[in-house]
Amino acid sequence: MIYFVPMQDPLSAPTYPEPSSPLDRVLQTLQAYPGTTLVAVSKTRSVEAIHALYQRGLRDFGENSALELQSKARVLPDDIRWHFIGHLQTNKVKTILPWVSLVHSVDSPRLAEELQKRAAAVNRHVGVLWQV
């Protein structure tokens, strides 16, 4: 199960993280559901904001822009699991392939074939979710 929570900018409030922040409440709730993955939607957020959540233990981040995912993945820790959560154009597969763990929006056989072909060429396994 994957649960999406819009990311808060931890640098915007001087008292962050407060004990009863929305993130703290979600993390506490998810403890009751082993195997659940929290994906922080990091689109439009700064590298510093993502890193602050990384330091709190989050490892799964979602982007809907191939170029933004690429630029952030290059400077953030290697153990982040990147999720592509928006429409992915076939010509952008090579842009995200070195970093993406799961593509949430595969909507055509052509896109699935491109992902499979490019992943096999670099010996990578990338999960996909079919959009129907």
- Note down pLDDT in tens along the chain; length 132 residues: 445 555 555 555 444 445 578 888 888 898 889 889 999 999 999 999 999 999 999 999 999 999 999 999 999 999 999 999 999 999 999 999 999 999 998 999 999 999 999 999 989 999 999 988
Structure pTM? Answer: 0.82
CA 78, chain centre distance (Å):
13
* CB half-sphere exposure, 65, CA atoms < 13 A: 8
Judged by DSSP in three states, 23 sits in: helix
State the pLDDT at residue 99.
Answer: 95
Return the pLDDT at 16: 43
Q: How far apart are the C-alpha atoms of 61 and 54, rounded to whole Å?
A: 9
